[in-house]
Structure formats: structure tokens, C-alpha cells
Structure 1
Amino acid sequence: MKNDTAKVAIKKLMPPLNTPFNDFAPVISADGSTMMFTSNRPSTERELAKGKAGREYIYEVTVDPKKKKWGAPKLLGPAVNAPGRNNSAIALSPDGQRMLVYRDNNDGNGNVFESVLNGTEWSELTEFPEPINSEEHESSACYSPDGRMIYFVSDREGGEGGKDIWYVTRGESDTWGALKNMGPVINTKEDEQGIFLHADGRTLYFSSKGHGSSGGYDLFRSAQEGSGWSVPNPLGAPLNTPGDDLYLVFLADGKTAYMSSERSGGMGEKDLYEVKFTPLPGRKAQDPLLTLLKGQVVDEETKQPVEGDIEITDNAKNVSISKQRSNSSTGNFLLSLPSGKNYGISVSAPGYLFHSENFDLQDTASYKEVVKVVELKKVKVGKSIVLNNVFYDFDKATLRPESSTELDALVQLLKDNEKLRIELGSHTDDKGADDYNQKLSDARAASVVTHLANKGVAQDRLVAKGYGETSPIAPNDTEEGRQQNRRTEFKVLE
């Protein structure tokens, strides 16, 4: 496939990332801050003394924030790297806090496991059940951006031949659904390997010995089309060579990728490479349709990190589509939000009022990074929270269906704190007459109180108050400011 919009530059990574041994299978967080890779470089005293290759183990490397370069690789501990076995990181979740790991079983086969980052330490591996793992060889896998699906490679029967790409979907009860093969558009009679689904959820990269490969494994790209996938396109030179080219993984911005290859000019048989995509003069970059929300959850008063539960809701469907947690040590989080949905985001932790954000992303919304520090407020008298996912019909007090999830969260907060009494305040911008805005805000506040009462919250715990245009939190001379001023919030009274 000729890339007529970007110049592709590929660069071999320097020591200590690459060595004279096999260094391969990079996986990376969506923001490019953390990378894992696999290497059989000497790791024991005996191997180091003899300069002898060892087993395949997983190494972690992070970007030095001052130098903006990769630091020194760190060998992960025995919780992830089983001594005497071949271990390989095969996927990272976009936030870098969950990792899929391949581990062999010494009989030529192997399975897929998962490890979770608890603070700064990776957990013991958990083996996936059927239908993901089988008695055959499951060698590669990746997450969908929301974590609801896992795509994986297996040479089990029932496919198109050789190693095929399969997928399963996680149900509401956290059980895995029926196994599905990606079919003959993606899979061939030859082997497929090294799958990666971009953070946009729409672009699949993988390697194959089929699809007219020019030699060994070549890299291919396929785009989601409705419920299916497009015919894969080879990525061409300089990415594909007569040797094996595998494990292409992208940052969320689509401008930087990493891969491993057995091409000439390397330090070892397999080496790690960085790939840069630069728009050609006069050509528009094909940015991913994606927003990357990253930041930190902290206590509003102490500014110390908080481990918070983060839930992403499709507001149009009132369906929870993803749940995760901020890191227990740092409070850091990262969310991948593919374009085309109205997202409600709720952050909560015991003893705190929940925090909400809204991202209404059109189908054509191109790549953007948003950095946000979420300051959670303790449940205390006088504290107030803006309900960013409470919506009304235009110029009316009628609550829209998209408000249900956020109001349900408020109901739960009131149930968890039985003595809590709150004020529901509604605010407008300065458009229109003062008395009209006051009446509209009175009616909207009353509408929320009625909704909560219908959900079982005692009426004497709820106070409705309309503020009209009297309490702006932003200038009213821009649409952005007016939008911030049109809000519903609740305040703790006692």
C-alpha cells in the first residue's frame, strides 16, 4: 500500500533497548509513556558470565520526562516472568495498567494471561479461561479500547487454516461470550500473528504470511466497515521487508509506532524499531478519530493521589461501556474515547462526592489530547458538584433520557450517605429576560428533585433552588462560557 499522505521513517532503537540478542514484541501505552518488550538477552549470572542467550523475558522501559528519551530497561519480577519459561508481553491496555502476557508451557504450546498494575507492582498472572485459551497455541492478543473485547491468535481447529485471529466479547456479568473467527477477509490458510487494535477502536494492524506476503510475515492494515472489516492492505516499504516484520503498535496520535523486524542491519536476529509518520507537504494528516483524556485523581484539599473508580457511559444509550481505576499510587488515569459518541465520565471514591465530565464527540472529531486533574471533594457541608451529564429539552425543564446514569449515581450517593441533605441548584446564562431565566431555572431544579424523589429519595432531603443568571462561573460573552453557566449542580447542606 502506497502511503500518499505521510513520509514513513523507520529507525532502529539503540542499546540498551536493542542488543545482539533477540529483542522483539513491543507493546506501548496510548500516550507513549511506557513500553514493554521481550528479550532473550542474558539475565542470570551464569548467562551473563558466558554471554549466552537465555529464556524470553519481559522488560519495562519508561520515558525520562526530562530528557524525553527512553530510560534503561527493567526486567520485570517473577510474578510476571516465570523462571525457566518463555514469557512475552503481547498487549497493554491504553492506560498501561493491564497487560496481556503469553507464557509457554514447555510442550510447544502456550496460553494468554493477564497482569494488573497495582500501584507500582504488576500482579501475579491470571490465566484466561475457555474460550480464549485451549489445548492449542494461543500466541498473541490485544484489547479493544474499552476492554470489552479481546482479539487473539490461535491455531485451534475451525479457522481458515494455520494461526487465525479470533475474538470474544465480555458480557455484563464479566463472563466471556461465544468465540468468533474473524473470517476469510482477515484470516488466510497461512499464519496470522502480532495483532494490534488502535485506540480509535476502528483500525486493526496484524502480520500475515498470507495476503500476498512478500516474504515471511508482512504487516497489514484493516479498517472497520459496519460490523465487518475491510480487505487488508499491505503497509509496504519500508515497513515490510523480505524478513519477518511483526508486532506493529501505535501511540494514540497515529504519528509514532514501534515494531520488531528481522531485517538486515540489525544488532541481533530480531530488533526493535521506531516508526515516524510525517505529513507530506500539501497533504492533510489522517488523524485518528479519537480523544485521549489523561490526568490524575487527587484529594481537593490535600492534593494527594486518590484511587478512584472511573466509569464511562454512552449517554445516548444509557449504557456503561467501560470501567477502570486510577492508579493506587499515583492517581494517574488515561481514557481512550473514540469519536462518534456522547460520553459521560464519572469518577468516584469512598468518602468523596463523585465528579463528572462530558465529552460529546462528533463522528468526525479528529485526534485531541486533554489533560485533566480531577479534584475529588470530601462529603462535607458546603461542598458542591456540577452535574455535567444532566440534560434538558431545549428551553424546557424536561429531563432528557441521557441524564439517567448521572442521576442514578446521585441517588446511590444519597443512599450511601443516609443523613445527607442536598440542594439542587439550576443556573442559566444571561441570554433572555431575567425573570424568564429565573422561572426556567426554578422549574429545572424542581424537575431534578422530582426525579430523585421518584427514585426513592425522601423529599425532605432535597431542596430545589433556581438561580437564574445570578451566579455565573464563566464570562457570558462566549458560547463556551455560556455553556459552562448553563448548569445543574448539587450542594451539601447537612
Structure 2
Amino acid sequence: MRLTFTLYCFCLLLACVVSLPGKGQDVVKTKSVLQLADQYFAAGEYYTAAYLYEQFLNPSKYQVKRDVFPVYTNKKGIGMLPKNISRSAILYKQAVAYLMANYFAPADSIFNDCTDNINALYWKAVCERSLGQYDEATANLRAYMESTNTNKKLDEEAKAEWETLQYIGKQLRRPDTILANTRKLNMPDSYERGGFAVVPLNGDQYLVTSTKTDSGIVKGTNPHNSHLFQATLTNDSLAQLTPVSFPPTGLLNNQGAASSYGNKMYFTQWQKVNGKTISNIYVITQTNGSWSAPQLVEAVNSNGFSSKQPFITADGKFLYFASDRPGGSGGFDIWLATLQEDGSVGTPINAGEVVNTNQDEQAPFYQTSNNTLVFSTNGRTGMGSFDLFSAKGKTNLWSEPVNLGYPVNSSRDDIYFYAPEKTRLLENAIIGSDRGNGCCIQTYRINKAPKKNNLNGVVLDCKNHKPVADASIVLTTAAGTTRTTTTDINGKYIFDTVDTELKDYTVAVSKQAYRDTVSKVQITKTDETNLLTDQFFNADLCVEKKFVLRPENVVTVYFNFDKYNLKQEAVRKLDSVYNVLLEIPTATLQISGYTDGKGSVEYNAVLSDHRARACAEYFISKGIDGSRITFASFGACCPLEMELINGRDNPDGRSRNRRALINITKE
């Protein structure tokens, strides 16, 4: 666990002791170790405080190391408990210090010894959740919540932690975790120094934030500071780390979390002001391969407040950032400002209450190609600490944020995110997370395979809207590849694993006694509730029955040349059909009209349609419901007689082709 970094952290401790927060050296010369520990705890220097509490509680283990404090401590006070302060109370404070410094294993162990403080049971559950010991965390949290001890002070926090554990349980049971592959990027010394906020610079060059020890640092200040590095990202390795070469003018001790576009780079610098860490966003410009001195971006910074973690959109139009400036929802919020063509930055606007909560939102990333904002927050139900969420939209109009889920998120801090443009959000993403055993936030790559996409549909009879079973369905892609299936008893069909967009796909339907039908895929509904498969629903397809000509049920009527009015003989035949329709209420008619071969194709199509309609209108005029009649026109198609014999016109044959066929269906 993190105590394997004792030597490294001890160096940090020495640096911190030399520069006590908010106090001059002359003020603290007679401070006891316990007083120093409390002072560092109050200043938020939790690891240093925890180390000093340990020195006080176990002085025999620090006979040598305690000599590093001769200027600041009263050695006689080491191990001597002040009046009205119990050893258990100091242990509790030490455990909380380790917890606040994210050293969960030692914190968990020490909370075991705080048996007289019921609240230690809650904090122990928090440690165990952070360590992935979810069953133990649940048991201890339940014991805390069910306790009747009147000294409980964390009931509301316990309820929130219970929701977190329940959420974690659901996430771990998600079936789509099998689609994700997560692994830590290889980076020199990241285990000891951290490495996060990875974003592209150009080509295979990326920016990354990490810690390095500064030489020539002013005596009395911490030499271990955060800096920006340029690195080569190849597969899963960040290599050839080189510090970004800043001009010294305008530099503070700590830089990080940068974003670049064109010849400009925006980044965060921070320092402590009156014991409070203040972050601001700066910009540098590259000219002839060299960076200019950092300039404060006045528009996005607010005096006395922090702005940090800038991100420039891929189109260079917006600068997103996190800030606790006035006008937000509370804590750090996501803000954005326009970037003008002349290089100026517009007035920031808040991303709105749909995104921001009364807690902290930070580290914004925006994928322009998908109009998707990704950010980290501790203000929503998640897996614990900071989780990554996404929301669709732009500026201050967003969909409800969605937790990116396990394994993108862990039970620790998951803060930084990057994904290339024109890809699925989690197809090849990079995240910054505190989930490992290293000292700090490290970088991970996640590749999540897409969900399956199924195309569903139904085939209906155009006339009665009943399902058509056993129809052959052929799906053809834009590239011309085909797949085939059949409809079930309910007329339904399904194609699994299809392309997400389904652009220019067609569906062809064929079934005996029905006309073949081809139509473009038109998605009318999408169901994304299943974590492994999205269901796309095509518009309903209807098919019409073919004209099935049966000699015993077909009546033929003939027409004069270029005419469609009914002759007397035709009327007598239609009357006989009318009688059948009266006798059999379920009988239907299928009428087809034809012409001889004279005239153009277009003209004959119209004439044959008029002949079919003339027959249909006769039946309707006699009271037959039009829904029992269908008709179609075929022009000069399908002649019954030859119209030319030995090259000479055959008028008799032509007269027999000028006809209408009435097919009687009695089923």
C-alpha cells in the first residue's frame, strides 16, 4: 500500500516542516510534536499530520528520525498525553488524517483501535469501501446505522454512504462489464509521482501532469511540485517524458492540467495564499518552437477564487474549465467561455444546474463530434468520492448526466477523461484515477466494445393488418451484403448485430401469394435499456396479396379499341359476379386491366387502369363495399392471343387482349 513510499513521503514531510503553513519559524520553535500535528491537520497537510501523530504515539520507533525536528519541537513532550486528551482521541485523529490523505489501509487499521468512538465505525466502512472490501464495509456501516449510541454524529453521511454501497453492488453486477478492458498506462515513476490529465498535444505527443523534485528551490519551501510534461503515447505506454520548457517569468511552483489548440496552451498554476490553495488559468503561445511567458487569462479567473483544469474543444471555439467563482451552484462548477478568432476569451457562463450540484464538479472534457460533456463530480450518487459522468448537449443546455459506471469509475477518485473525436465515447478513452496502490492519481486506458444492435420489425397484410407468418426477409446493407430471416407466427422478424446507423439499409419481403415488397429501413423506436444489446425497431411493413388467377373463379370482360366503357355483354357477366358477392359475404374481388399492343407504354398503363376501375366502380355503384375489391393495371402485358401472324395484323387476337379479369376469391 502507500506506506511503501515512506522514504519518499518522509522527504516531503521534511520539506513541509521547514515551511510550516501560515507560520514563521520563530513562532513554532517550542511547538510539541502533537501541537505540530494539530497545526498541519488544520492546514490540510494530512499526511504530515498523520506522520507526526505517529511520532507522538510511538516515540520509540523514531529515536533517530525525531532529531530532524530539533528546531521546532519540545522533545520532552513526545509521548506525553496532555490533560483531558486520551490516546484513543489522538489515534482517531491520526486515522482521519490518513483517511483524508487517501491512505486508506493504515487509516482502516488505526480505526480498529478507536473502540470508544462510535464514529470510527463509520469511517472504517469508508476506508473498506475505498479498499474494495465491500462486504466488510456494508457490515460495519449497518452496525453503525443500527447503533443506539447517542454520540453518533454522522447519520446523514452514513445514509449517503449506504446509497454508495448499494450503487456499487448494482454496478458490479452489470452484465456489460465484460465489454470493457481497463489497464494502467505504463509511465516512468508514476507509482511514486503520479501521472494524470493526459491530453493530446500533436501527433503521438501528449501532455501529462506529474510530480518532480525541483533543484535550486528557495530554502524553506517544498521542492516536490507538480509540473507539465510532454510524452510519447505508444499503445499503452507514456514514454520519453520531457518537462515542458516554460520561460521562468510568470511561473509558480505548481503547474498542471493543460489543453492546447493551434499555437496556444492553456494550463493551471496554483499556490497557497494565506493558507488557502488558489488556482488560476494561464495561457502561453508558441512561436518558432519556443513558448512565451505565461499570461493570466483574466476573463476566466476571479480574484480570491480558483479556476482550473482548462479544456479547449476540438474546433477551438470553447474553453471549458472548473471554478468556485461566484455565480455557481456551490463548490466547484463547470464553466465555459468562447474563444474568439483574435485570441480573446469571452465572458464565462455557468454550464447550469442540470450539470452542476452544490458539491464539486471538475475536470471537464467535451467531445465535439458527439456533443458530449464528461466531467467529474462528488455531488451525485456514484461509486464513492469523485465519479465521471456524461451529458449530451452544449453550453448550458444538457441532458440529465449519466454515471459512466463500473469499470470506468471505481470506489476512489476518478477525475480526468479524454477520448478522441469521431469515436464512441468509451471506444478508446483515457481516464485519471486514484484506484491503484500508487501515491497519487495515475492514468488508465479503457476500451469498451460496442453493444450489440438488433433490428426488429413486423410484416402485416395491407388489407386486414394481420401478421404475415413465414415471410422471407432479406436485409441489404449499403455495401450490398445481405442477410436473410423469416417472420414468426406473429409476423415478427429480427436481425442481430447490425450497424448502429443502419444508413441506406433496405428490407425486402417475399411470400407466396403476396407481392414482393422492398423498402428502406426507417427506425421508429429505439430501446437502450438492455446493457448488452440495443433494440432498433423498423417501421411496420405491409404486403399485398397477388392476383391468383384460377380458371374456375375468373370472369373475363372485353372492351372496344381505345375504350373503357362497359359493353352490354360485360355488364351481364359483372351482374353474375355481383350475385356471387351477395351469396358469399366473405368473397373478394381482384380485378386486373389490360390493353392490346397498340399505343405507348404510358398510354396503355392509363387505359388499362381505367378498364379495371370501370369494373370496380360498377360493383361499388351496386352497393358492394370497396374494401372487398382490389384492382391493378398491366397495360399491354401478358397478351392471351398473338397480335401479329406471319407479320400481318391479327385484329381478332387484339380484341381478345383488350380485357379485364375479375378473380373471385371465396375463402
Task: Flag the structure with more relative contact order, 1 or 2, with Cα contacts below 8 A and sequence separation at least 6.
Answer: 1
How does the TM-score come out when normalised to structure 2? 0.38
Report which of the two has the higher share of strand: 1
Larger radius of gyration: 2
Question: TM-score, normalising length from structure 1?
Answer: 0.50
Q: Normalized per residue, which structure has more helix?
A: 2
